[in-house]
Amino acid sequence: MRIVFMGTPEFAVPSLQQLHGSRRHTIQLVVTQPNRPSGRGKKLVPPPVKVAAEAAGLPVRQPERLSAPEMRQEIESLAPEAVCVVAFGQKIPRWLLRLPRHGCINVHPSLLPRWRGASPVAATLLAGDIETGVTTMLLDEGWDTGPILLRATTPVTPADNAGELEGRLARVGARLLLETLDAMEQGTLVPTPQPREGVTYAPKVTTEDGRLDFTRPAEELVRRIRAFTPDPGAFTFYDGSRLRIWKAHTTSAAAAPGDQPAAEPGQIVSTRPELAVQTGEGQLVIDVLQPAGKKPMAAADYLRGHPLPVGSRFTSSPEGGPD
């Protein structure tokens, strides 16, 4: 089939490469987001899909809006048989939904209708789901509401963070997209409307979502750390300085020995052999952290250069406010 491919982040790159390498379909054009400023210097950086497309020798366009007349004219002149949309980042307009005879096919990293929305991988981890997957669907004018084409499942392991799980789902999605296109071309695929039961939504993740509240249970905090690693990152504060937490686990150890008063949420209860912090329910053991301006490091390595007294506290703000 003749295909226009639309995608932007790293998640979309395996799908682009899978289609280009299949030799069964022709990518006529790759459409991605404009270069955006990044890093301390705010230098303009191309999206991963642009880098991959140019490496493959594919033509690339980066419109601010798909509604731009010249963009519509170019896509219409190509007369694609299908448009593949993988984490593109813009709403697909009605004219484009109706243009290809096979429709606009989307790769979504969840088992729809569970976790419609912008951040399904983070939502999967926050909820403690033990299974997730990828759905290919036909886009309609709603948000992730179109009929399902194919689905593939994968387990969620206790070690998965968002980056690792998203990478696995990207590879699953690339294979599923190719399988979907082949089946559509052969006429063997029947779209299935999404069920009304089991609909959940995954809102867009913000930096603020990564703030750790130690009054919450330790298990919940571990899920939050996993859900926001590597981006936007889970964080806390110690003595006014921000610390990013990359990895942690729970422990069932007692909060305080003997007749000492129980530790309060956020208090450090142990630094040997592990950095343990009291939460609203159980203790959180911090395995990997990152001070501001430094690289991630094992908590034990950090403690050798920055001793943290037992009884001192992590806080939810640099001013040391309560969690």
Report whether 214 contacts 224 (CB < 8 A).
no
Q: Is 159 helix (H, G, I), strand (E, B) or coil?
A: coil
Residue 178 has pLDDT above 90, yes or no: yes
The owner of tokens 């699953």 is 172
> DSSP secondary structure string, 245-256?
EEEEEEE---SS
What is the rounded average pLDDT of the residues 190-198? Answer: 96
Q: What is the per-residue pLDDT for 251?
A: 86
Residues 322, 313 contacting (CB under 8 angstroms): no
pLDDT greater than 60 at residue 321? no
Residue 249 has pLDDT above 60, yes or no: yes
Residue 207 is which amino acid? T
Whole-number pLDDT of residue 252: 66
Return the pLDDT at 257: 47
Residue whose C-alpha is closest to residue 134's, from 123, 122, 120? 120
Q: Is 233 helix (H, G, I), strand (E, B) or coil?
A: coil
Residue 31's Cβ-count burial label (10 Å; 0-12, 13-18, 19+) is: buried
Q: 76-110: per-residue pLDDT in tens?
A: 999 999 999 999 999 999 999 999 999 999 999 99
**Proportion of the chain above pLDDT 70, given as a percent:** 96
Q: How confident is the model at residue 73 (pLDDT cuts 50, 70, 90)?
A: very high
- pLDDT band at 42; cut points 50, 70, 90: confident
- Average pLDDT on 202-231 reads 97
Residue 262: the pLDDT is: 72
Q: What residues pair up with 297 in beta bridges, in sequence order?
A: 289
| pLDDT-based confidence at residue 256 (cuts at 50, 70, 90) | very low
Is it the case that residue 322 has pLDDT exceeding 90?
A: no
Residue 259 pLDDT class (50, 70, 90 cuts): very low
**258 pLDDT band (50/70/90 cuts)?**
very low
Which pLDDT value is given to residue 50? 98
3-state secondary structure the chain: CEEEEEECCHHHHHHHHHHHHHCCCEEEEEECCCCEEECCCCEEECCHHHHHHHHCCCCEECCCCCCCHHHHHHHHHHCCCEEEEECCCCCCCHHHHCCCCCCEEEEECCCCCCCEECCHHHHHHHCCCCEEEEEEEECCCCCCCCCEEEEEEEECCCCCCHHHHHHHHHHHHHHHHHHHHHHHHHCCCCCECCCCCCCCEECCCCHHHHECCCCCEHHHHHHHHHHCCCCCCEEEEECCEEEEEEEEEEECCCCCCCCCCCCCCCEEEECCCCEEEECCECEEEEEEEEECCCCCEEHHHHHHHCCCCCCCEEECCCCCCCC
- Residue 219, token pair as written in the block: 């298990």
Q: Could you give the percent of the chain with pLDDT greater than 90?
A: 91
Per the prediction, the chain carries an average pLDDT of 94
How far is Cα 237 from Cα 235, in angstroms, rounded to an integer?
7
Q: What is the mean pLDDT of residues 252-273?
A: 73
267-290 pLDDT tens trace: 999 999 999 999 999 999 999 999
User: Which pLDDT belongs to residue 253?
Assistant: 57
Indicate if the pLDDT at residue 164 is higher than 90. yes
As a whole number of angstroms, the distance between CA 48 and CA 82 comes to 22
* Greater model confidence, 256 or 297: 297
Stretch 152-162: mean pLDDT:
97
When pLDDT is averaged across residues 46-51 and rounded to a whole number, the result is 98
Share in percent of the chain as helix, strand, coil (round to 5): 25, 30, 45
- Residues 195-212: what's their mean pLDDT? 96
pLDDT tens for each residue of 59-71: 999 999 999 999 9
Structure tokens at 263: 């530790």
Q: What are phi and psi of 12, to 5 degrees?
A: -85, -15
Whether 271 and 223 have beta carbons less than 8 Å apart is answered as no
In angstroms, the CA 1 to CA 16 distance is 14
